[in-house]
Amino acid sequence: MVTLRSKRLVYQTALFFSLATLIFVALRTSVAQGLLFKFKTSHTIIDQDNKENQEVRHPKYKPTPTYTPPPIADPFPALATSTPPPIPSYNKPEEDGWKKMGLPIAPPLVIGFTRSWPMLLQTVVSYITAGWPPEQIYVVENTGMQQANARGQLSLQHPWFLDHAALKKLGVTVIQTPVLLTFAQLQNFYLSVSYAREWPYYFWSHMDVLALSHEDGFENLTPRAGDPGYKSLYTLCLEELNRS
């Protein structure tokens, strides 16, 4: 009886461990499959999110124009064959007027240029017409075109075209940046030029403005052009610089 009971106990123990092993394997497989399913599901969601984000970030391009823009015309053709026209007599700057204001140097005007030659030319001519001496105007070519404009290798249709010869004919000086600069870098370049040329001050302007003197007069500032005491834009800038 003892032997039989012992055998029965061994069989029961073996059966118990066999069932326990099967249950453990089944549970382990189930957990593994669950984790695998969760992993696949999460990655599917991530892939979907990435796909949606990519769709959101995808740039929207403007439709291709159906028209051909007209070619850019020379904005000042007479400048190529003749001298610049005289400025109005009432805006003509007084010779060495800056010295009479007690200023150490003639005030430079710096104009940065990147693109659109017709716009820049309009700005430069407007300052000259408003009385600013052209020899005190400096156009900073910030096109990144290296020596292409200086050598006349770009055409008027090129967005970064700059006519060095035309500016020289107007009496304006051109300064070139070594590379294409950002707006902040360009401001630092102006400072660098002022140190190199020993300018204690300078004015600077955007290249898309139209400078006008108060030719119709301005209350408490200047009478009308031609009347006694009239002050051009340049004269007003000298006075303000003297006060500053």
More confident residue, 215 or 35: 215
For the beta sheet containing 109-113, the strands, ordered from the edge strand earlier in sequence to the opposite edge, are 173-176, 137-141, 109-113, 203-205
Task: Tell me whether residue 54 is in a domain.
Answer: no
Q: Are 131 and 234 in contact (CB under 8 A)?
A: yes
Phi, psi of 25 (to 5 degrees): -65, -40
* Residue 6 domain-assigned (yes or no): no
67 within domain boundaries? no
**Residue 5 within a domain:** no
Looking at the structure of the chain, the number of domains it has is 1
Question: Looking at the domain assignment, is residue 223 inside a domain?
Answer: yes
**pLDDT for the residue 38:** 59
- Per-residue confidence (pLDDT) for residue 115, from 0 to 100: 95
List, in sequence order, every beta strand (DSSP E) within 24-134: 109-113
Residue 142 lies in a domain: yes
Does residue 14 form part of some domain?
no
The helix (H) or strand (E) run that includes residue 192 is helix 183-196
What is the Cα–Cα distance from 66 to 6, expressed in whole angstroms? 98
Cross-strand pairs, 222: 218
Domain with 196 in it: 87-243
In a domain, 162, yes or no: yes
* Structure token pair of residue 25: 């394997």
CB 118 within 8 A of CB 75: yes
Q: Is the pTM of this model over 0.75?
A: no
Mind listing the pLDDT tens digit for each residue in 36-55?
555 556 556 555 656 555 55
